[in-house]
Structure 1
């Protein structure tokens, strides 16, 4: 009985930790890994991430970055790489990431080909046509997507936004080397994207784990609303620090400023509107999560 219990506990432990990356890069103002042990090389340009947070994603415009990562799985060992990508150009090949040698079956990478008729080939590259897994997908410019590629020693899979796009058995992937490239395929550079939250795993994540990883990190209305309230509160706090007029004057000034912009802000909580008009006292809201609605009152009729 004890052996069975220990076995179950061990299996549960492995399952619970299967989604823990061995390395991850959040690109929050730097090129370092989350544990600060390694870094990509290059002069970075940081932009807003999918949540709207400033300087929290890496922009690659026909420029490659590379990092030496000792945890990259070698030979046919199980592996998963996931990354968030926003394409700023879809009429060119985007060499998203990859590592290994330019030899049949010795590469592991991800490439998004140019759009033709609204769709583009997405490739899990193994080098050599028979070693590539290719699927045609719709592609929209300036839209964030989460890509995941997995390999368990036999089965290769491509996912986008938590959804399995294609699965192929029997391809050998003897990827070797510890240099991970972004924006580069062997010696060629071609990319125009923003990249965020790159994660590397030494397991082949299951369909359920990939879906959960996407659901736990995707953007939703609540997250955006919460960020909007936080940014508005920070802005109003800065204004109050610079000048502290009488309370009635502050309200009047905010009303004039809002009217000049021609916009009205409405605040909702749990489906109920709690503030309207110009919502000038948004800074006085208690801590919590809200939905913000901005209405352009100067729209042409």
Structure 2
């Protein structure tokens, strides 16, 4: 029990730390960072953000901005960069953000290419094709998208609206440079989009943390992305919809024993219910109707039946 509690406390601390950006730019009528220590350079035009707030997002029309950011991870250090983007045209490339040197593996940037039909290539740029990670995705103009890129020192991941789109392993990221640019890749400017809430992290966020970042910052009219399916050796169950707004009852901790079926050996099963990595201490796994709406993980273990 003590080991379990310590593990949960450690994971919880990591989650809290991981979701605190080292720098963020909200673009709420200015180009300053949230702590007012850094500013992008240039004359800005501000428009409504994804929530509809006036002058809450930065508009870039074939124009780039740059800032010197000392917190940008260098070399192969872990990182996460997220941003909200609304494309006002899809017929030309959009260099969303980037930093580093125009040398093989020393650049780190995100670009959404011109649409071909209804799809467009989304690329994590590492300079030189072999260092890029690219995935073709549907693209529509005047729609807000949440992009996140993570790198843990070996594995690179690209997400959109909390959904993992691409994973690549073994591509080197030896980034060198402290000038963060939006709207430009190295010396090439190309973008026609609105940018909001650019956040930089010094850790590689997990799939769950990226999903939570999207769901907690999306407009209320956007669909909530569900968690990715659990691995095949785990079982998930979606609880029945709760008909009232009253919270679920919390009886004493229960571990449900389920008798094995006749064609199995003589044993019982312990069923434990978890939500977001934490055990639902008062939930009875045999009565799904008692659980609030959500996605749960069932942990099932065997033990010998009493004779």
Taking structure 2 as the reference length, what is the TM-score of the superposition?
A: 0.70
Report the Cα distance in structure 2 between the residues aligned to 1:157 and 1:21, rounded to whole angstroms.
18
Relative to structure 1, the CA distance from residue 165 to residue 4 in structure 2 (aligned partners, 3 Å threshold; closer, same or farther) is: closer
Aligned to 1:155: 155
Matched, 1:91 2:81: no
How far does residue 12 in structure 1 lie from its aligned partner after superposition? Answer: 2.4
Report the Cα distance in structure 1 between the residues aligned to 2:159 and 2:194, rounded to whole angstroms.
19
How far does residue 43 in structure 1 lie from its aligned partner after superposition? Answer: 0.4
Report the Cα distance in structure 1 between the residues aligned to 2:186 and 2:32, rounded to whole angstroms.
23
Aligned to 2:144: 144
Report the Cα distance in structure 1 between the residues aligned to 2:139 and 2:7, rounded to whole angstroms.
45
Matched, 1:22 2:22: yes
Report the Cα distance in structure 2 between the residues aligned to 1:190 and 1:165, rounded to whole angstroms.
23
Report the Cα distance in structure 1 between the residues aligned to 2:109 and 2:89, rounded to whole angstroms.
20
How far does residue 83 in structure 1 lie from its aligned partner after superposition? Answer: 0.3
Relative to structure 1, the CA distance from residue 43 to residue 166 in structure 2 (aligned partners, 3 Å threshold; closer, same or farther) is: same
Report the Cα distance in structure 2 between the residues aligned to 1:213 and 1:2, rounded to whole angstroms.
30
How far does residue 5 in structure 1 lie from its aligned partner after superposition? Answer: 5.9
Taking structure 1 as the reference length, what is the TM-score of the superposition?
A: 0.71
Q: 1:6-17 counterparts in 2 under 5 A?
A: 9-17=9-17
Deviations 1:170-204 (A, max 9, x none): 01101111100000011110110000000000001
Report the Cα distance in structure 1 between the residues aligned to 2:2 and 2:145, rounded to whole angstroms.
45
Relative to structure 1, the CA distance from residue 118 to residue 7 in structure 2 (aligned partners, 3 Å threshold; closer, same or farther) is: closer
Report the Cα distance in structure 2 between the residues aligned to 1:2 and 1:122, rounded to whole angstroms.
45
Report the Cα distance in structure 1 between the residues aligned to 2:164 and 2:3, rounded to whole angstroms.
36
Q: Is the 8 A contact 2:15 2:209 kept in 1?
A: no
Aligned to 2:271: none
Report the Cα distance in structure 1 between the residues aligned to 2:66 and 2:213, rounded to whole angstroms.
25
Aligned to 2:104: 104
Aligned to 2:207: 207
Report the Cα distance in structure 2 between the residues aligned to 1:53 and 1:4, rounded to whole angstroms.
44
Q: Secondary structure at the match of 2:168?
A: strand
Q: 1:1-301 counterparts in 2 under 5 A?
A: 9-221=9-221
Report the Cα distance in structure 1 between the residues aligned to 2:10 and 2:137, rounded to whole angstroms.
39
Report the Cα distance in structure 2 between the residues aligned to 1:199 and 1:16, rounded to whole angstroms.
15
Report the Cα distance in structure 2 between the residues aligned to 1:6 and 1:89, rounded to whole angstroms.
50
Structure 1 regions of 5+ residues with no counterpart? 223-269, 271-301
How far does residue 11 in structure 1 lie from its aligned partner after superposition? Answer: 3.7
Deviations 1:131-154 (A, max 9, x none): 000000010011000001110011
Structure 1 vs Structure 2 CA RMSD: 1.8
Report the Cα distance in structure 1 between the residues aligned to 2:114 and 2:193, rounded to whole angstroms.
13
Q: Secondary structure at the match of 1:16?
A: helix
How far does residue 15 in structure 1 lie from its aligned partner after superposition? Answer: 2.0
